Structure 1
Amino acid sequence: MRRVYVAAALFSLSAALPVLAQPAALDNGIADIQREWSIIQYQAPEKTREDRFAVLSTKAQALADQFPQRAEPHIWAGIALSSWAGAKGGLGALGLAKQAREQYEQAIAIDPKALQGSAQNSLGVLYFKVPGWPIGFGDDNKAEALLKEALAINPDGIDPNYFYADYLVQKNRKADAAVYLERALKAPPRLGREIADAGRREDIAKLQQKLP
């Protein structure tokens, strides 16, 4: 990377500036999308979420197009699409889910450890939430494998522990689910993700009510 900066500087300072600005633009873009997603998911009225996630998906896709070789914007493009699909519901959401799957797969191909395995975690959720064949591409075996892969990358994270517990509850493996919910509650706070963390803890409390 240093050679790139030096080569650009040899031609002109102005040519180097876009290269230097890219990481900040990516980080700021991701932070903005994360914050907006949290507000829509946990604070916006439910009836407004479909339209707002649609707008967020456009913004996330623009960032992914700007940085196609970085995994992080593809992950957030997938999350925005998945959330839009969830808010939309019904068979009309299946096309959005397929687009989200493509984004996660691109992210994994670029960097499987990006955002602490968030692509595997989110893709695993898709596989167990989407209906199976012949309607959709849902697959419980793929779901569990991906969720476990995400946990292996980020064993203490709130999201991978919560979503694996959610999967286990759906499979009536509630004793196992309790262990992962406890781990999720002990997860360290994420800087800049305070709204998301608070909302996820509410999700955990709701899921715990389904346990014996």
Structure 2
Amino acid sequence: MTAAAVAAALALVVTGCAPALREPPPVSTLAPGRSGAGGAAELVRAADTAWVRRADSRAAEEAQALYLDAAATDEQRVDGLLGAMRAMAFRIEREREAPVRARLAQEQVQLGQWCQRRAPSEAACDYRLAIALGQQARERASTGKDALGKMVELLRKAIAAAPQLDSGGPHRVLALVLLRAPGWPVGPGDPEAALGEARAAAELFPDAPENQLALAEALGKNGSSDAARVAYQRALDLATAAREAGDPEADRWRAEASAGLERHTGR
């Protein structure tokens, strides 16, 4: 989940009053059913192949469809659900049409609920549902207040069970939530606690650009401008290397790092 997505969602927290979770429809109603008669494992392999090409929006959509069909084919597995949620999160950040983003965000939350039901102890389900709730709150402001507490709870569960997910993602996303959320008594916002989470993510995966971005922001919010500048520069260097390697997220990371450097250097 991008920092911008977290910020946009949390800016709406104090005004929302609708429930973030509702009874989800069957997974089969969300799956397109265009993938033929292949088994779930075969569909997941095909989806993984399409996901590698996700810089092409058509490939990202294809991966999502294949993951969904896999999830509908075998109701015991969660890899299709998790893959579809990851693809939806990726597409939401690039989709220009608000109704499409809102639909994808809602469906992503529904898949997260099914993921938890199929595998209650699977930390990846908690992590992906937390991200989905944040994106849904951005697209549907009225769910923001209810979503915030659920996001924090889900991320803490994921940290306790599998902090290494998504290159330290549970720590990283929780850091952003704590940085951007309103503070007590309205919300759980806590810049000092956020710095601890950001440091934990960076210690686990120091070469992940997103971890350095979260660390830099947390350092800045805690008054450590020089250290923030160092972290932003490292994030920029890592993002540049990622772009050279063909990572489709690299340009976003570079933009965030460059903006952070400008804020902390006055350039």
Same fold at TM > 0.5: yes
Counterpart check, 1:113 vs 2:175? no
Counterpart residue type for residue 142 of structure 1: A
Question: What TM-score results when the alignment is normalised by the length of structure 2?
Answer: 0.61
Match for residue 68 of structure 1 among 108, 116, 120: 120
Q: Secondary structure of the equivalent of 2:90?
A: helix
Question: For residue 210 of structure 1, what is the aligned residue in structure 2?
Answer: 263
Aligned residues: 189
Supply the distance in 2 between the matched residues of 1:169 and 1:56 (Cα, whole angstroms): 32
Alpha carbon RMSD of aligned pairs, Å?
Answer: 3.0
More helix by share: 1
| Cα-to-partner distance string for 1:173-210 (whole Å, 9 max, x where unaligned) | 332112112222333649xx943333333322333332
* Residue 171 of structure 1: how far off its partner (Å): 3.9
Within a 5 Å distance, the mapping from 1:37-186 to structure 2 comes to 37-41=89-93, 43-45=94-96, 47-48=98-99, 49-88=101-140, 93-186=144-237
Q: Which runs of 5+ in 2 are unaligned?
A: 1-38, 45-73
Q: Is the 8 A contact 2:236 2:258 kept in 1?
A: no
Which of 5, 20, 33 is the aligned partner of 2:85? 33
Q: Distance in 2 between matches of 1:196 and 1:80?
A: 18
Identity %: 20
Over 3 Å counting, the alpha-carbon distance change for 1:69 and 1:38 in structure 2 is same
Query: What amino acid does structure 1 have at the position aligned with 2:126?
Result: H
1:105 aligns to what SS in structure 2?
helix
The alpha carbon displacement at 1:61 in A equals: 2.6
Provide the C-alpha distance between the structure 1 equivalents of 2:123 and 2:215, rounded to a whole number of angstroms: 22
Q: Partner amino acid for 2:248?
A: I
Amino acid at match of 2:147: L
Matching residue's letter, 1:205: S
- Distance across 2 between alignment mates of 1:195 and 1:37: 14
SS of 1:104 mapped into structure 2? helix
Task: State whether structure 2 residue 250 is matched by structure 1 residue 197.
Answer: yes
1:131 Cα deviation from its structure 2 partner: 0.4
Aligned to 1:175, what secondary structure does the other structure show?
A: helix
Q: What residue ranges of structure 1 are gaps of 5+ in the alignment?
A: 1-16
Alpha-carbon distance between aligned partners in 2 of 1:55 and 1:127, rounded to the nearest angstrom: 25
- How many angstroms does 1:172 deviate by? 4.5
Pick closer, same or farther for the CA change 1:189–1:61 going to 2, 3 Å. Answer: farther
Number of the residue aligned with 1:10? none
Structure 1 residues 143 and 61: CA distance shift in structure 2, 3 A = same
Preserved contact between residue 155 and residue 161 of structure 1 (Cα < 8 Å): yes
Q: Aligned partners of 1:64, 1:189: CA distance in 2, in Å?
A: 32
Give deviations 1:72-115, integer Å, cap 9, x for gaps. Answer: 121111111123334445x8512111111121122122223333
Counterpart-to-counterpart distance in 1, 2:234 and 2:257: 11
1:132 Cα deviation (Å)?
0.6
Does the Cα contact within 8 Å between 1:178 and 1:211 map onto a contact in 2?
Answer: yes
Asked if structure 1 preserves the Cα contact closer than 8 Å seen for 2:181 and 2:189, the reply is yes
> Which amino acid in structure 2 is aligned with residue 183 of structure 1?
R
Decide whether the 8 Å contact of 1:82 with 1:126 is kept in 2.
no
Q: Deviations over 1:145-174 (max 9, x none)?
A: 111111111111111111111223334433
Summarize the Cα distance change of 1:144–1:86 in structure 2 as closer, same or farther, 3 Å threshold: farther
Provide the rounded CA distance (Å) in 1 between the counterparts of 2:189 and 2:234: 27
Q: Which has the higher contact order (CA 8 A, sep 6+)?
A: 2
* Counterpart contact for 1:74–1:106, Cα < 8 Å: yes
